[in-house]
Structure 1
């Protein structure tokens, strides 16, 4: 059984107006000892400066390096940080799902531990959600989006995969595989049960949200390649898993008779 951190490591929610929704940020971390400090400090400082009530929920995915020790240190300086260790099963999807079962906020974003996602973009997502949307999706590839040092072969695969999803589901949105997205709590609850144990969770969440009738806005965002370590995404291992999720959501779209669609208020 996975053990949460002691109660002393539960976050103190950052100050904000009583009416403002509490933002949770779920971050999976596997062997991120070199990146996690800069990521969490930058994220916390940005949200604090913007007056956004928040908690930062990190799932240490049974790291083999000193990620856990770094989190223990960081919890002493970042009052809104809470962390857990997922003893297993492990994998990106499992780590994210572990955090999604434990966050406390009114809305939740998934971000990476390597600072590839910009906290300033998260602020823009959060502000956009206040207009009434159920989800806010980032797009790195449209007007206003930006990528820095994106590996050329991954870029080709990314654009082909997203073009297929866009065509099959008749979407205007062009970045479904981007993990960096924001969901209201009731939306996230409406996407359960989760199926994906790996990076295909990044496709499962937005496709389910779209197929099930949740409203969404698209906001341009930036992506910057990691400074330290190596990417955990293994493209050769993920093709069939992405295909499975795409087909599952397509079957639901046309054959589920609306059983899973958002309940109208």
Structure 2
């Protein structure tokens, strides 16, 4: 089963090379057939030039520039419309996600046959390194609200780092989110539409280079919109979008 990894990148000239090289070496060492798909989200720095040079060294790297519309969600959606694998993971360009966790995700999917593998940084075995305190408080509040409204026992829906089978991605379309709210759209639609999933611990490490593009104050209403959409779909769509078994 071929694994694709979609990486959204905006002004990541300092970190994208390390992320791609580390992913490639870990996946190659584990003999996992893969492609590393990077969406350059119309960066204003030298991200495109770095990717061009990386392509000469990393044979499984595929990259394109998304000239617009731009934004975190649009960059991921660009990759999700073009990847070639049988399953696909979302991975951060700043290497805050751990490639060894991705190997564990992949092996879990192969062993169990589930439609998706979700990571949680907050269950036993999960960990965070240098996680900003204010961000952690907001994260815990937001994820508990999601658990309450949707009625699921999953505490890290806002975690973008997940693995989906191709049929799962196709089954949660059309995508609505242009920004970071895509992270909860993908996971909540997977749940409410009846796809199977497992939850395993994963780790998160704060970025070493660059600046995060997440603007918490701007995202509240966008997360709330997607949360309400998924709530309405779960309880009022009468199964119109349910997985066809």
TM-score, length-normalised on structure 2? Answer: 0.99
Alpha-carbon distance, 1:175 to partner? 0.2
CA distance in 2, matches of 1:86, 1:179: 20
User: Residue in 1 aligned with 2:63?
Assistant: 83
CA distance in 2, matches of 1:64, 1:211: 38
- The residue matched to 1:48 in structure 2 has which SS? helix
Alpha-carbon distance, 1:188 to partner? 0.3
- The residue matched to 1:194 in structure 2 has which SS? coil
User: Residue in 1 aligned with 2:141?
Assistant: 160
State which of 236, 243, 262 in structure 1 corresponds to 2:217: 236
User: Residue in 1 aligned with 2:52?
Assistant: 72
Matches within 5 A, 1:9-158: 21-130=1-110, 131-158=112-139
State which of 152, 159, 179 in structure 2 corresponds to 1:198: 179
- The residue matched to 1:262 in structure 2 has which SS? coil
User: Residue in 1 aligned with 2:230?
Assistant: 249
- The residue matched to 1:88 in structure 2 has which SS? coil
User: Residue in 2 aligned with 1:13?
Assistant: none
User: Does 2:220 correspond to 1:210?
Assistant: no
Alpha-carbon distance, 1:167 to partner? 1.1
- The residue matched to 1:244 in structure 2 has which SS? helix
Alpha-carbon distance, 1:168 to partner? 1.1
Deviations 1:202-222 (A, max 9, x none): 000000000000000001000
CA distance in 2, matches of 1:144, 1:72: 37
Alpha-carbon distance, 1:22 to partner? 0.3
User: Residue in 2 aligned with 1:11?
Assistant: none
- The residue matched to 2:223 in structure 1 has which SS? helix
- The residue matched to 2:12 in structure 1 has which SS? coil
Moved over 6 A (4+): none
Alpha-carbon distance, 1:171 to partner? 1.3
Alpha-carbon distance, 1:122 to partner? 0.2
Deviations 1:184-238 (A, max 9, x none): 0000000000000000000000000000000000010000000011110000100
Farther-moved stretch of structure 1 (54-63 vs 164-173): 164-173
User: Residue in 2 aligned with 1:220?
Assistant: 201
TM-score, length-normalised on structure 1? Answer: 0.92
User: Residue in 1 aligned with 2:159?
Assistant: 178
User: Where do 5+ consecutive residues of structure 1 fail to align?
Assistant: 1-20
What is the aligned-residue RMSD (CA, Å)? 0.4
